[in-house]
A and B are shown apart, each in its own frame.
Chain A
Amino acid sequence: MNNFQYTRVKSPATAITELSKNPAAKLLAGGTNLIDLMKYGVMSPDKLVDINRLEFSDIKRGQGTLHIGSMVRNSVAAADATVLEYQPLLSQAMLAGASAQLRNKASMGGNLLQRTRCPYFYDITADCNKRAPGTGCSALEGFNRMHAIFGASSSCIAVNPSDMNVALVALDAVVQVSGPKGNRSIMMADFHRLPGTHPELDSTLDKKEIITGIVIPDNAFAKHTTYLKVRDRASYAFALISVAAALEMDGSTIKDLRLAMGGVAHKPWRLTEAENFLKGKTASVANFKLAAELAMKGAKSYGHNDFKLKLAPNSIIQALKTASGVKA
């Protein structure tokens, strides 16, 4: 690990000033990912700006919204009664991620920004455009079992590893940020980027900005939500495929729904075409299969992850079955 400076800030304004002064500074929240990356030599910030004392730790109801502060710990949000009542999908997704110890430490803002777990990103002797732009992508023809099938580029086929992000993109969440130019809101769907030719950039957050909170609009999905995470072991493993499914049912008809997938792209992957197809249709396995086919349009695999072309639609069907309660 390189030497670095450390400062603890007490106001968001100071945090923004620190980031503005030093482009190589990084915010330190839960540290569950950043500290690991520093130990591996993947990230070497000059300065850590500790924001753990900032007051972004409330969960509250707004006008038809749920607001979760960026410093709320994942375990706190997942167990919160308001979250469970209004947005149970978010709780399910967060509990599927990491381990109890990590969730106790990890913040909402940090989870939004957690970096890919591509092994070549972590191995500093390997070529990796995300870690060292211009060196190439080792995963493209390497061990890419965990890698993307949607939206990848020849520069990078890494996936966003977060479970929480999949639920948030399904729930049309909005990320609230603050920076030198004031406050702004970023739609969750626009928050994470596709790799394109700049895989070093995970999100559209400016380097001088700080995440203050997450806002989720109310919905009528609470009774029919599922977060399905398919992985190589039952806990503490990243998703091969995950599916967030939230349905509003009117008898056997799907009145409205949201679908998103994890483990398939550089960003949490919203399944808009499948949603449009199923909206107003009868909940049936036959319709789920057709929706899954639509969702898979444009998928591309890279060898070790060929299985995802089958596992992904199967998982979509399964998540819809569980969320709707439909068996046939």
Chain B
Amino acid sequence: MAKKYLDNADMARAISRVDGRAKVMGAAKYAAEVQLPDLTYAVLVESSIGQGTITSLDTKKAEWAPGVISVISHLNTPGVPEYKLENQDVIQKQLRVFDDANIYFNGQPIAVVIADTLERAQYGASLVKATYKKENHLTNLESNLSRAAVPKKAKADPKGFTSDFIRGKAGAYKDAAVQVEEEYIQPSEVHHPMELHSIIANWEAADKLTLVDKTQGSQQTAASISKSFQLPVENVKVLATYVGGAFGSALRVWPHEIVAILAAKKVQKPVKLVLSRNQMSYMVGYRPHTLQKVALGASKDGKLVGISHESYGKTSMYEEFTENVLQMTRMMYDVPNIDTKYRIVPLNVSTPAPMRGPGEATGSFALECAMDELSYKLNIDPVELRLINYAAEDPDKKMAWSSNYLKECYRLGAEKIGWNKRKAEAGTVQDGEWKVGYGVATGTFGAFRSAATVKATYKADGSLLLQSAIADIGPGTATAMTAIAAENLGIPPEKIVFQLGNSTFPKAPMQGGSNSLATVGSATVAVCTNLKVELAKLAAQQKSGWNNAVPDHVKISGADLVNSDETSAKVSLASLFSQSGQLEMVISGSAAQGDEKNKYSFYSYSVHFIEAHVHELTGVVRIKNAVSVVDCGTVVSPKTARSQLMGGIVGGIGMALMEEAVIDDRTGRTVNASFGDYHVPVNADIPQMEMLFVNERDEHLNPMGSKGLGEVVIIGVAPAVANAVYNATGIRVRHLPITPDKLI
């Protein structure tokens, strides 16, 4: 039987990233690179205390400094109209920029200096001096667990993943023959995309605003800003043509964006504000430091009896941040008894944000390490243990899976990594000075779809322009959409341009939660179908054989429109355009979710296998091999999908081995805010990797047969590494990251 899965060798025939050349050649302009006439530059001044109030703010020196145009603070802000409104959302309450003298975290923006050059603005910012009435701040999660609270969100949504939950009997693991009960800690991690968060705010009229902004949702940013500044939404235009990574950090409007808009209002000129790399550590969210308590109970033959899982994550003092840490625990394994508790701990820190694999990346670290610990106690192979507890349907929703090829993921990954080389007893394989171990872990993330529209402009020269407001933060959305349109219509990819990242383009969701392909791809299929219907209508006026043309059987072939049901019914496209009297055809297509969510449970899956070598004397960990297998339905764009998976593995290795945002609890300041001190993997940390896709169609989510990919690729990598390190050394590290000091 021919293989159906996709591996590295299948990538050669896939289409390449359509904007790859522009990005590599520097032709792609990111927000910070855009220049406007009369552009001015804004630099933030930050608080140096963690809690209290500003008692005085000396801005005189800054105002007198050369080139400085204005200094704005709570003393003279033009104000954000939304702050004066009643009935604001108390859960998703933004930090109110310059609204009063209150300080909630160290690093909070307290003023902004606007000057004619960046350097002069930076110098001006260094001259602003604040004095404070300091109060005690709290930043340490572990020592403030007594402040843990049930999120308000949970009260509003009792069936959600942040509400206390019991299936069967709570604490049932205690009755089981074999038990694991442990605590797992994952520190705060920072998104740190390569591109710094940047915005240019330009008031084109008193009620008309254009933003060039790093955002994962051009229309969502426009909507949020229009609400904040009480403008008609059509008067706020947001451009995010290129976004150099985000990983969740650009899913919402942050204080610096509000600051830039206020500044532009004040100076009556366009204002550019680019965060520094250090500011990226605390101005635009992070994966929150989370402590988890997990208890598993199983019978001696490996069947899970009960899981108890609690999560304590930090949030800011002014805003509630929650994520689905416990979702995977509720649906992953066939277990009759589950109880979960989700708590948040408000501290003097900025608000966290979803970070790639939000919730599940955290939850899977605890759950999948605990499963590994259980496998040793049971003396059952960890892959086998997962197969024993495989859930044939969603035990949480009590629904059939839309598709689930987890078993194939385990089988294929085990074969490719050489799982049979793994020894069941930890710390027993040595290669020279290195201890060798293998680990496995699973990831899962819900597969979603929402509503979108794509507009097509098909020109007489055979070129096709497609437009959608969707952002492309790196996964290759334009490439995947081009692939979909090319296959659907028969137009070669090089004749298709997919424009995105513009709020005036047709409706699209945010790029987040792995739903872009399912959502915008469906709209792309719809617009292609509509275009073929229109072309067939024109053809029917010329020739017979087109009256009942089935869109799926109609294709553009070179200069002709062909109908595979009526091979003689070929018409030239030129004749169709001349007949219509138009040089171009403009048409839209929309798609939205149906009632599929009521019939099936939708998830993507990943299984990660890691071979880790740990140096016996220095504790240095080297990942020697990584094999990941993903079930994301049909792979629409193999090359960019492979890159997504590669990035997920790299991110997961970083999470496992080095990422940790450290706060000095005495001051509440981030200690390792720079890129030199906050470690992410470099090339030398990354092994040869094998990226595999099951590539089996999901029949229920969308016409392409795809499921989401971007999030699930990182989920489960960190526990796979931790499990491999344990297999190599016999040392179980339950507090990430796994640095050399923990292994000597």
Contact = CB atoms under 8 A, between A and B. Distances in A.
B671 A233 contact: no
Given A123-B669, A232-B679, A233-B657, A240 B617 contact: no
Interface in A298-327: 307, 310-311, 314-315, 317-318, 321
Interface in B566-587: none
A119 B672 contact: yes
Contacts of A119: 671-672, 677
Contact of B684 (A143, A235, A315, A321): A235
Contact of A125 (B658, B669, B681, B684): B669
B16 interface: no
A1 B123 contact: yes
Interface in B675-722: 676-677, 679, 681-685
Interface string A117-157: 10110110110000000000010011101000000000000
A123 B126 CA distance: 13
Nearest to B741: A307
B617 A1 contact: no
A41 B126 contact: yes
Central interface residue in A2, A117, A230, A235, by most chain B CB within 10 Å: A230
B684 A311 contact: no
Contacts of A318: 433, 615, 617-618
A138 B666 CA distance: 10
A239 to B, nearest CB: 11
A125 B683 CA distance: 34
A314 B744 contact: yes
Contact of A233 (B119, B615, B662, B679): B679
B625 to A, nearest CB: 15
Nearest to B676: A117
B167 interface: no
A234 B622 contact: yes
Interface string B80-95: 0000000000000000
A317 B616 CA distance: 11
Interface in B13-68: 48
Interface in B90-124: 119, 122-123
B667 A314 contact: no
A236 interface: yes
Contacts of A228: 618
Nearest to B737: A232
Contacts of B299: none
A317 B676 CA distance: 28
B740 A233 contact: no
B553 to A, nearest CB: 54
A231 B262 CA distance: 44
Contacts of B122: 1
Contact of B662 (A3, A143, A237, A307): A143
B687 to A, nearest CB: 11
A314 B614 CA distance: 14
A125 B47 CA distance: 10
Contacts of B739: 232
Contacts of A315: 617-618
Q: What does DSSP make chain A's interface, helix, strand, loop or mixed?
A: loop
B681 A126 contact: no
A307 B740 CA distance: 9
B618 A311 contact: yes
Contact of B682 (A126, A234, A307): A234
Given A230-B740, A240-B740, A311-B740, A143 B617 contact: no
Contacts of A41: 126
Contact of B618 (A125, A142, A230): A230
A314 B684 contact: no
B740 A126 contact: no
B143 to A, nearest CB: 16
Contact of B667 (A126, A233, A237): A126
A4 B176 CA distance: 72
B685 A234 contact: yes
Q: How large is the interface on A (under 10, 10 to 19, 20 to 34, 35 or more residues)?
A: 20 to 34
Contact of A232 (B119, B123, B658, B664): B658
A142 B676 contact: no
B68 to A, nearest CB: 14
B619 A142 contact: no
Nearest to A141: B666
A233 B48 contact: no
B391 interface: no
Nearest to A238: B676
Nearest to A99: B682
B744 A317 contact: no
Contacts of B740: 230, 232, 240, 307, 311
A120 B666 CA distance: 12
B682 A233 contact: yes
Contacts of B657: 232-233
B230 interface: no
Given A1-B122, A307-B744, A311-B619, A122 B674 contact: yes
A306 B692 CA distance: 42
B620 interface: yes
Interface in B721-744: 739-741, 744
Contact of B664 (A122, A143, A234): A143
A236 B682 contact: yes
Nearest to B123: A1
Contacts of B666: 138, 141-142
Nearest to A142: B664
Given A143-B662, A307-B744, A311-B744, A235 B682 contact: yes
Nearest to B682: A235
B671 A317 contact: no
Interface in B607-629: 615, 617-620, 622
Contacts of B744: 307, 310-311, 314
A115 to B, nearest CB: 13
Interface in A280-309: 307
Interface string A231-270: 0111111001100000000000000000000000000000
B498 to A, nearest CB: 35
A235 B740 CA distance: 14
Nearest to B663: A143
A229 to B, nearest CB: 10
Contacts of B658: 232-233
A254 to B, nearest CB: 19
Central interface residue in B122, B433, B684, B741, by most chain A CB within 10 Å: B741
Given A119-B672, A126-B667, A235 B683 contact: yes
A237 B684 CA distance: 12
Nearest to B119: A1
A37 to B, nearest CB: 12
A45 to B, nearest CB: 15
Interface string A163-207: 000000000000000000000000000000000000000000000
Nearest to B672: A119
The 3 closest A-B pairs by CB, nearest first: A307-B741, A234-B684, A314-B617
6 contacts: A1-B119, A126-B667, A142-B666, A236-B682, A307-B744, A314-B744
Interface of A: 1-3, 41, 117, 119-120, 122-123, 125-126, 138, 141-143, 145, 228, 230, 232-237, 240-241, 307, 310-311, 314-315, 317-318, 321
Given A138-B664, A138-B666, A230-B740, 6 more contacts: A2-B123, A232-B657, A233-B681, A311-B741, A314-B618, A321-B433
